[in-house]
Structure 1
Amino acid sequence: MAAEEKSIGRKLLSFFITEETAQPANISTPTPAPTIVAEAIPPKNIDKGVMDKKFIDHFVQLLENSNLKGPDYFEFMQALKSLSGLGLSEEKQFQAAWASFKAMGGITDVQVLTNTANQYIGILDNDRQAFLKDVEAAVTQKVGGLKNELKKTEDENESIAKQIVELQRRIDENKNKINQLTDSIAEQSGKITINKSNYETTHLTFVEQIKGDIDKIVKYLK
């Protein structure tokens, strides 16, 4: 494959996205990321998934590193893509691309296309299995850790709630005790006040009685 030709991964990328023109080298503005074309519709069985550039770049790099030797599925698809603007029916486009592919590589067996396409599917599927294992490990490590923290926090809240119930019970008990003590204080204060008044009255009575007797002694016993 000539150096100026697109790599196999970039060929794959061109089937799904349209790359905008790169900025000149003397301009520091980063090259805009490739944009997804309207035809790149995610399979219907993928729930809420979208074409993600980081995964597109990952698959591009994966297929670049897994480039099969000789003309194969991607060269055929490149030839097919070049015919898209000629107004041919889909069948005619495939037939014309096949003729071009055979002339380019000297290959006459259609199974070369299906076999190599299936090889790339196998490469992608192997990567998917590895990715799903990483996802499972991440779920176990990160989500599992978060679940443990969640359980710990819930248990702590339950313990605190029990403490709150116990504290509220003690508060209620203390309120009752406070009411009882308040009543007792009022009762005892009342009794003490009455006793004090009775004492003062009795004391005054005795003092006055003695003073009266003194006055009488002084008066009558001169």
Structure 2
Amino acid sequence: MAEQETSSGLEGFGKKLLNLFIKDEPTGSKPMPVMPQSQGSPVGTPAAQPNHVPTAPVSAIPGPVAAPEGTVDTKFVDHFASVLSKANQPGPDYFEFREALKSLSNLNLSEDQQYQAAWASFKAMGGSANVAALVSSANQYLTALNNDQQAFSKTVEETLTEKVGGLSNEQKQLQSENEQFARQILEIQRKMDANNERLAKIGGELNEQQQKITQSKSNYEATLAVFVGQIKRDLLKLGEYIK
């Protein structure tokens, strides 16, 4: 790959990277990487890679929820383009070999014929005739990707701890508030029940008191009438009998 690939050209580099590692598929089918990302140490010898293998599922995130199966994401393609661009050395290397191999994928050649033809094309570009140099350049990219994966995994774990921890604390706080509200509701309900019970008693007491007061008023007026009647009768008799 030419050394003039810079950060300003990463978008185009990402598209090139996508074309190099993703086999063209009929419309409507999901793209699959040709070569999965290495999870371990760089390999020591070149190995023939199939032109099309399924994408490995994304590892489950520790916790109650497992991650779904991953798909190729162009934003990560651009990210890996940046990672590989920084690891790239001047002159033909593994990427030129992969580009040559990609160009042969649609020809009616067996896999070993494709690799032999790509190797011949790579050497014709000025690449090293020593296969160990090609393997070394490929291992540089694997090392860069592996280091990036470790940093990404660490960031994911830290982010999960921060986000999930924060949400867990919020969950506990809300649950505690709801329990407190529930206790308050029970206390309010208890007071309402007591008030309703007292209201029912007050209704009976009101009737009783009204009857007592009304009866007392009637008795007062009846008794008063007796006294008033008696005095009036005496006044009448005084006028009649005493002159």
Q: Which residue of 1 aligns with 2:145?
A: 124
State the 1:164 CA deviation: 0.7
Q: Percent identity?
A: 50
Q: Distance in 2 between matches of 1:82 and 1:113?
A: 18
Mapped pair 1:202 → 2:223: yes
The AA in structure 1 aligned to 2:226 is T
Mapped pair 1:99 → 2:120: yes
The AA in structure 2 aligned to 1:40 is M
Structure 1 regions of 5+ residues with no counterpart? 19-35
Q: Distance in 2 between matches of 1:188 and 1:157?
A: 45
Structure 2 regions of 5+ residues with no counterpart? 34-53, 59-67
> Which stretch has the larger CA shift, 99-108 or 36-45?
36-45
CA contact (8 A) 1:83 1:93 kept: yes
1:182 corresponds to which of 189, 198, 203: 203
Q: Which residue of 2 aligns with 1:14?
A: 19
State the 1:194 CA deviation: 0.8
> Which stretch has the larger CA shift, 54-63 or 116-125?
116-125
1:57 corresponds to which of 64, 78, 95: 78
Q: Distance in 1 between matches of 2:72 and 2:120?
A: 32
Mapped pair 1:43 → 2:48: no
Q: Distance in 2 between matches of 1:75 and 1:171?
A: 83
The AA in structure 1 aligned to 2:55 is P
Q: Distance in 2 between matches of 1:116 and 1:128?
A: 19
Q: Distance in 2 between matches of 1:195 and 1:182?
A: 20
> Which stretch has the larger CA shift, 155-164 or 68-77?
68-77
Q: Distance in 2 between matches of 1:132 and 1:3?
A: 31
Mapped pair 1:72 → 2:84: no
Mapped pair 1:161 → 2:173: no
Q: Distance in 1 between matches of 2:183 and 2:30?
A: 58
CA contact (8 A) 1:9 1:63 kept: no
State the 1:198 CA deviation: 0.7
Greater relative contact order, per chain length (Cα 8 Å cut-off, separation 6+): 2
Q: Distance in 1 between matches of 2:148 and 2:3?
A: 28
Q: Distance in 2 between matches of 1:56 and 1:67?
A: 16
CA contact (8 A) 2:93 2:137 kept: yes
Q: Distance in 2 between matches of 1:15 and 1:101?
A: 15
Structural RMSD (CA)? 2.9
State the 1:56 CA deviation: 1.0
SS of 1:68's partner is: coil
SS of 1:200's partner is: helix
> Which stretch has the larger CA shift, 201-210 or 6-15?
6-15
SS of 1:217's partner is: helix
State the 1:89 CA deviation: 2.7
SS of 2:213's partner is: helix
CA contact (8 A) 1:9 1:62 kept: no
State the 1:158 CA deviation: 1.1
Q: Distance in 1 between matches of 2:29 and 2:3?
A: 27
